Amino acid sequence: MLVSVYRYNPETDLKPSMRDYQIEIPGGKDLMVLDVLAMVKEQDDSVAYRRSCREGVCGSDGMNINGVNGLACITPLSDVVKNDKLVLRPLPGLPVVRDLVVDMSIFYKQYERIEPYLQNDDPVPAIERLQSPEDRAKLDGLYECILCACCSTNCPSFWWNPEKFVGPAGLLQAYRFLADSRDTHTDERLANLEDPFSVFRCRGIMNCVAVCPKGLNPTKAIGHIREMLMERGA
Amino acid sequence: MGMKNMQVSSVTNFGRSGLSDWLIQRVSAVILLLYIVCHSAIILSTPEMSYAQWRELFAGTTMRIFSLLTLLALCAHAWIGMWTVATDYLTRRMMGSKATLVRLVFLVGCIAVLAIYFIWCVIILWSV
Amino acid sequence: MANIRTMTFDGVIVGGGGSGLRAALELSQSGYKTAVISKVFPTRSHTVSAQGGITCAIASTEPDDDWRWHMYDTVKGSDYIGDQDAIEYMCSEGPQAVFELEHMGLPFSRNEDGRIYQRPFGGQSREYGKGGQAARTCAAADRTGHALLHTLYQANLKNNTVFFNEWYAVDLVKNQHGHVVGLIAICIEDGEVVFIKSKATVLATGGAGRIYASTTNALINTGDGIGMAMRAGVPQQDMEMWQFHPTGIYGAGTLITEGSRGEGGYLVNKDGERFMERYAPNAKDLAGRDVVARSMVLEILEGRGVGPDADHVLLKLDHLGEKVLNDKLPGILELSRTFAHVDPVKEPIPVVPTCHYMMGGIPTNIHGQALGQNPDGTDYVIEGLYACGEAACVSVHGANRLGGNSLLDLVVFGRASGIYIEKMLSSGIEQQEASDSDLELGLSRLDKLNQSSSGEKVADLRKELQVIMQNHFGVFRKGDFMREGIQKLQAMRERIENPHLQDKSNAFNTARVEALELQNLFEVAEATAIAAEGREESRGAHARDDFTERDDDNWLCHSMFFPDTKTLGKRKVNFAPKTVPTFEPMIRTY
Amino acid sequence: MKPTTKNDRPVNLDLSTIKLPLAAITSISHRISGVIMFAGIGILLWMLELSLSSEAGFNRLHELLTSPLVTFVVWGVLSALAYHLIAGVKHLLMDAGIGETKEGAPRGATIVIIASLITILALGVWLWV
């Protein structure tokens, strides 16, 4: 199989380029893209990419696979490869540190901006804070985010305004804390999101939903945030 | 960290907030939609409309108010849309340091066009 | 100072997983200048993969639960070589540590009364083994590790911990007095090498499951802290004790939580027989992990395995119904569909025992202080060095860890290390100095790699090492076969210390990191091999064909591997808990 | 040592290499049609003025609309308007929480495209026939 990899080393290259590798794919098993990348690295150890858990829960190996963002470790070749060609490029829209490794600082900054931690001003109880199973269920589909950035780097609004638009991943977490019955800072959180960019740059394109490897729905969460903002405004 | 309480704002945004922009965009869209549906229905149900009928349609007070309201909705809708377009593409990120000036000129241009549209349309409607 | 930049902190934590983040949180909350060095962005650490939960007697699902019962289970689970003072500390402090996590926002699953949901796990009992199965594992669906790690990272953000993400710790810096004064680290992004000086250095680098060819561990689990400690002469405890998790997905090695059996799933052989009923008549599929894993291998060896090669068994979950599986085990559904191409709602999952957890590691006391051993067998504290989490051996897991105890271990002892270091810092300990020659250990290792012009490929060497470990030091072990393995390993040392690094660039050079990781893997592997060959008995996870019985007369003790001499010694187990009577060794049945 | 600095790192944003979902294409078309309408309003206003100015103007407009070029331009403007309107209705429905799912997004996009094509064709028929 032909594997075409986006290569860029700041020490030697002025510009990125695509380099092709011929990889013999063993039969009998549907390999994951990450397995193929490991084979490429055996051929050429200068190929840089991130990876860790290799089972889709750590979020390290988000990349653009044949034009679509996804996690290399849980994307089987059978899902993405047609015509025996695999094209691997870094996540779109973020500065490339080297090869498939992007600089995620702006993505993390947007995550930090929504104050991604529980804030509760009530006195701390001796045991846990109680939460009904129904209230806990509101966090399902939100807390599972692995911060892989597949969604935000597939979002045109985030491409154009990564400094101002929180992006789908950050907003999903913003809503995770807005929805938590244990958090008491709802009003402050909403006040920080009311400007024309942070939330409202979302145009409902739903590219985030299309690629989330965990099947989460940031667009819906953003809709809920808007509802809360409206209730607060009314 | 440093950006924790970073507020995002923009001087060229006329609305109070993203929320009001968003609401205005929706409300104006509904008004525009109603106006277009109304007129389409009238035009389609009157295949051989005469000049008199056409003029009559715009001369009524109700329609005049409706038209004016739609005009306002149109200007607001277009402004918010164009402002969004400008702040997406005419940015420092896309075109470097000259972006601010380009965007400003573009937005002033948009305002001028919308002002012309508004005045022109009022003249048209009131000359009926 | 040797031409490299020096940065100074009150405390430096190596590793951004659960234990490292918990230790860092304790320190940064109290206002000390704290840095976390992590080779990956913290939420990519292996804690994120933990599924089933955190075992702790918070008495929610069973209101009369008692931490002493948990302690009994843990001592028994350890096959009696867990230190009882440490187990006592973990089980009694546990509830507080878990409540703190909840207060930080961890999204635990809930019972109807609003308290934290607890599920049954293997090796859990009520009333000191006499009251039947307990339900003691606090869970956030089957994504507890993910929820825990993200919560801890968030809490650190809130408390302004300084993060050096994607920095790789190369070696400890130890001065002539034997004090650890910091470490040499390399910024992966631009290749800069830095001396990070600190009054307290905490190794929270996790496990090293990647010494085996088949493991549930992340690719980053290369025992970096263990390797660093061993090169600095720190002995390692109980390195022969490797847990093979009963349910790794066949072929892929990804983990299926014990919680799946806790919720009512069970193992079957090719005849569809629930074979655990024969091996553990009472606890059945919820016996200790070592017991279940061995039973599975026996089934396979006796020809009752499943598949064309009869080399695995099946985990049946479909009888639990779609709703339970969706509510309680959603992650398992995902993993099975992706990696086994099986839908557990309809079909059983092919599973096989897979290397999962390192019970051994850097010996520490309950404050996380790393320990060395005097010639007379007594302990001494290695000044400036701490360890917690999987890298440490406190030891609360002894010869076999109970499910859900690793997450508890890492929060309790991460927290304990932080508390103790905070105490030391506030009592005014001085920053110890290092001379240029003390930095040599790390710098020369880097230089050697950077100057390599011949040698073998890292990927090839790593594969070879993993195959040796898999074949010679697996679930069942045998003396002559292990000695053969040790010889093979010894023949590899020279080659592993001199691999060929083709790519010598500075920007995000993962080849360099992998070469350094390989050297750590090798140190761990060798310690494992020598300790495994040396312990002439079967206990917990360590099962020998040539010494099939537990030998309390000679081996009711920890093994100590001394890296300088590559020899094996012994260390006493602590049988003196402070508030409860000693749990005396008994025959271990489930 | 390093020829490049952090500030001039390349960015992978070559849109020809990125597969955009159907929903993204309807979304960007919505924006493009909006911008076209910004200019198109001028044409519509001019037509309105002409039609209301006098009987002669009204007839002149009818006459002009028999010219293929003018008809084509008007058809273009009305098509943009129709598309903008239909895609806008989808937005309003999404604001009400309808179709905000992974499956709903391509379905909604497909409906918008089909409905728009039909409307645009109908407009063409209406203008020419």
Q: What are the backbone angles phi and psi of residue D85, rounded to the nearest 5°?
A: -70, -45
CA D11 to chain centre: 30
Are C507 and D2 within 8 A, CB to CB? yes
Q: Does A146 touch chain C (CB under 8 A)?
A: yes
Q: Does D34 touch chain B (CB under 8 A)?
A: yes
Q: Which residues of D touch C450 (CB under 8 A)?
A: none
Residue in A11, A159, A205 closest to D3 by CB: A11
Measured between CA atoms, how close is D56 to chain B, in angstroms?
9
Are B51 and D95 within 8 A, CB to CB? no
Are A60 and C40 within 8 A, CB to CB? yes
Q: What are the backbone angles phi and psi of residue C117, rounded to the nearest 5°?
A: -70, 135
pLDDT at A28: 81
Chain D CA closest to residue B117 = D42
Whether residues A137 and A63 fall in one domain: no
Asked if the model's pLDDT at residue B9 lies above 90, the reply is no
Q: Which residues of A touch B3 (CB under 8 A)?
A: 109, 112-113
Are A9 and C505 within 8 A, CB to CB? yes
Question: Considering only CA atoms, which of C24, C358, C387, C16 is closest in space to residue C168?
Answer: C16
Tokens of C426: 């506030």
Count other Cβ atoms within 10 Å, centred on residue D25: 13
Neighbours of A, requiring at least 3 CB pairs below 8 Å, are B, C, D
Cα-Cα-Cα-Cα dihedral sign, residues C211, C216, C217, C219: positive
Active site residue C289: yes
Q: Which residues of B touch A197 (CB under 8 A)?
A: 8, 10, 18, 87
pLDDT at A197: 95
Do residues C144 and C49 make contact, with C-beta atoms less than 8 angstroms apart? no
Q: Which residues of A touch D9 (CB under 8 A)?
A: 10, 95-97, 103
Question: Considering only CA atoms, which of C397, C411, C395, C414 is closest in space to residue C95?
Answer: C411
Tokens of C429: 């300990």
Measured between CA atoms, how close is A1 to chain B, in angstroms?
37
Total structural domains within chain A: 2
Are A29 and C503 within 8 A, CB to CB? no
Beta carbons within 8 Å of A83's beta carbon, 6+ residues apart = none
Asked if the model's pLDDT at residue B14 lies above 80, the reply is no
CA dist C308 and D14 (Å) reads: 47
CA dist A193 and B8 (Å) reads: 8
Q: Alpha-carbon dihedral of residues C469, C471, C476, C482, nearest 10 degrees?
A: -70
Give the mean model confidence (pLDDT) for residues C502-518.
97
Q: Which of C126, C136, C289, C571 is catalytic?
A: C289
Beta carbons within 8 Å of C76's beta carbon, 6+ residues apart = C123, C129, C583, C586, C588
**Residues C568, C574, C579: CA angle, nearest 5 degrees:** 170
Q: What are the backbone angles phi and psi of residue C209, rounded to the nearest 5°?
A: -55, -15
Mean per-residue pLDDT of chain C:
97
Per domain, the residue ranges of chain D are 22-128
Do residues C292 and C246 make contact, with C-beta atoms less than 8 angstroms apart? yes
Are D81 and B36 within 8 A, CB to CB? yes
Strand-by-strand arrangement of the C349-358 sheet: C242-249, C349-358, C313-316, C266-268
Q: Which residues of A2-30 are buried (b: 16+ CB within 10 A; e: fewer)?
A: ebebbbbbbbeeeebeeeebebebeeeee
Whether residues A116 and A80 fall in one domain: no
Measured between CA atoms, how close is C217 to chain A, in angstroms?
7
Q: Which residues of D touch C506 (CB under 8 A)?
A: 1-2
Q: Does B89 touch chain A (CB under 8 A)?
A: yes
Asked if the model's pLDDT at residue D1 lies above 50, the reply is no
Give the mean model confidence (pLDDT) for residues C38-59.
97
Neighbours of C, requiring at least 3 CB pairs below 8 Å, are A, D
Interface A–B counts its CB contacts (< 8 A) at 61
Tokens of C152: 């801890």
Asked if the model's pLDDT at residue C65 lies above 70, the reply is yes
pLDDT at B2: 34
pTM of the model: 0.96
Q: Does A184 touch chain C (CB under 8 A)?
A: no
Q: Which residues of D touch B74 (CB under 8 A)?
A: 41
Whether residues A45 and A117 fall in one domain: no
Are D45 and B120 within 8 A, CB to CB? yes
Beta-bridge partner residues of C373: C379
Tokens of C291: 């017991």
Q: Does A78 touch chain C (CB under 8 A)?
A: no
Asked if the model's pLDDT at residue D2 lies above 70, the reply is no
Residue in A115, A195, A230 closest to B8 by CB: A195
Beta carbons within 8 Å of A4's beta carbon, 6+ residues apart = A18, A19, A20, A21, A85, A86, A87, A88
Q: Which residues of A touch B7 (CB under 8 A)?
A: 192, 195
Whether residues A116 and A90 fall in one domain: no
Are A117 and C112 within 8 A, CB to CB? no
Radius of gyration of chain C (CA): 23
Are D24 and A207 within 8 A, CB to CB? yes
**SS3 letters across B65-125:** HHHHHHHHHHHHHHHHHHHHHHHHHCCHHHHHHHHHHHHHHHHHHHHHHHHHHHHHHHHHH
Summarised one tens digit per residue, pLDDT across range B23-55 is 999 999 999 999 999 999 999 998 888 999 999
Measured between CA atoms, how close is A118 to chain D, in angstroms?
27
pLDDT at B16: 62
Are C104 and A118 within 8 A, CB to CB? yes
Which CATH number applies to D22-128?
Answer: 1.20.1300.10
Cα atoms found within 13 Å of the Cα of residue A72, Cβ hemisphere only: 26
Tokens of D129: 């026939």
Per domain, the residue ranges of chain B are 26-127
Chain D interface, best mutation among A158, A205, A220, by max D CB count within 10 A: A205
Measured between CA atoms, how close is C190 to chain D, in angstroms?
9
Are B18 and A164 within 8 A, CB to CB? no
pLDDT at B17: 86
Residue C11's alpha-carbon distances to A212, C36, C159, C386, C419, in angstroms, are: 38, 9, 15, 10, 12
Amino acid sitting at position C262: G
Q: Alpha-carbon dihedral of residues D109, D114, D116, D120, nearest 10 degrees?
A: 160
Asked if the model's pLDDT at residue D114 lies above 50, the reply is yes
Amino acid sitting at position A156: P
Q: Does D8 touch chain C (CB under 8 A)?
A: no
Give the mean model confidence (pLDDT) for residues C184-202.
97
Q: Does D92 touch chain A (CB under 8 A)?
A: no
Summarised one tens digit per residue, pLDDT across range C320-362 is 999 999 999 999 999 999 999 999 999 999 999 999 999 999 9
- Provide, rounded to the nearest whole percent, the portion of chain A with pLDDT above 70: 100
Tokens of C79: 């096959």
- DSSP letter at A230 equals H
Measured between CA atoms, how close is D101 to chain C, in angstroms?
19
Of A70, A102, A134, the residue that ends a domain is: A102
Asked if the model's pLDDT at residue C542 lies above 70, the reply is yes
**CATH code at position A57:** 3.10.20.30
pLDDT at D129: 76
Do residues C457 and C513 make contact, with C-beta atoms less than 8 angstroms apart? no
**CATH code at position A120:** 1.10.1060.10
Question: Considering only CA atoms, which of B42, B70, B36 is closest in space to residue B57?
Answer: B42
Task: Match 């409300």 to its residue by tokens.
Answer: B27
Which CATH number applies to B26-127?
Answer: 1.20.1300.10
CA dist C56 and C65 (Å) reads: 10
pLDDT at B4: 38
Beta-bridge partner residues of C567: C562
Whether residues A115 and A179 fall in one domain: yes
Lowest mean pLDDT among A104-108, B90-94, B97-101, D3-7: D3-7
Residue in D3, D17, D23 closest to A205 by CB: D23
Neighbours of B, requiring at least 3 CB pairs below 8 Å, are A, D
Model confidence band, residue A90 (pLDDT cutoffs 50, 70, 90): very high
Asked if the model's pLDDT at residue D5 lies above 70, the reply is no
Do residues A132 and C116 make contact, with C-beta atoms less than 8 angstroms apart? no
Measured between CA atoms, how close is B9 to chain D, in angstroms?
23
Count other Cβ atoms within 10 Å, centred on residue D102: 16
Residue C158's alpha-carbon distances to A113, A119, A165, A176, C74, in angstroms, are: 11, 10, 22, 16, 34
Whether residues A91 and A158 fall in one domain: no
Q: Alpha-carbon dihedral of residues C519, C525, C528, C534, nearest 10 degrees?
A: -100
* E strand map for B12-54: none
pLDDT at A182: 98
Chain A interface, best mutation among B1, B3, B19, B103, by max A CB count within 10 A: B19
pLDDT at C512: 97
- Provide, rounded to the nearest whole percent, the portion of chain B with pLDDT above 70: 88
Are B5 and A161 within 8 A, CB to CB? no
pLDDT at B15: 53
pLDDT at D43: 96
Q: Which residues of D touch C507 (CB under 8 A)?
A: 2
Q: Does A6 touch chain D (CB under 8 A)?
A: yes
Asked if the model's pLDDT at residue C393 lies above 80, the reply is yes
Residue ranges of B 27-66 with Cβ closer than 8 A to chain A: none
Asked if the model's pLDDT at residue A116 lies above 50, the reply is yes
Asked if the model's pLDDT at residue B3 lies above 70, the reply is no
Chain A CA closest to residue C116 = A128
CA dist A34 and C339 (Å) reads: 13
Measured between CA atoms, how close is C338 to chain D, in angstroms?
19
Of A60, A77, A102, the residue that ends a domain is: A102
Chain A CA closest to residue B16 = A195
* E strand map for A9-142: 17-22, 62-65, 68-71, 85-89, 96-98, 101-102
Whether residues A73 and A113 fall in one domain: no
Asked if the model's pLDDT at residue B13 lies above 60, the reply is no
Asked if the model's pLDDT at residue B8 lies above 60, the reply is no
Beta-bridge partner residues of C349: C315
Are B3 and A112 within 8 A, CB to CB? yes
pLDDT at B5: 39
pLDDT at C1: 52
Domain residues for the domain of A203 are 105-233
Give the mean model confidence (pLDDT) for residues C570-577.
98
Measured between CA atoms, how close is C488 to chain A, in angstroms?
23
Q: Which residues of C50-74 are buried (b: 16+ CB within 10 A; e: fewer)?
A: bbbbbbbbbbbbbeebbbbbbbbbb
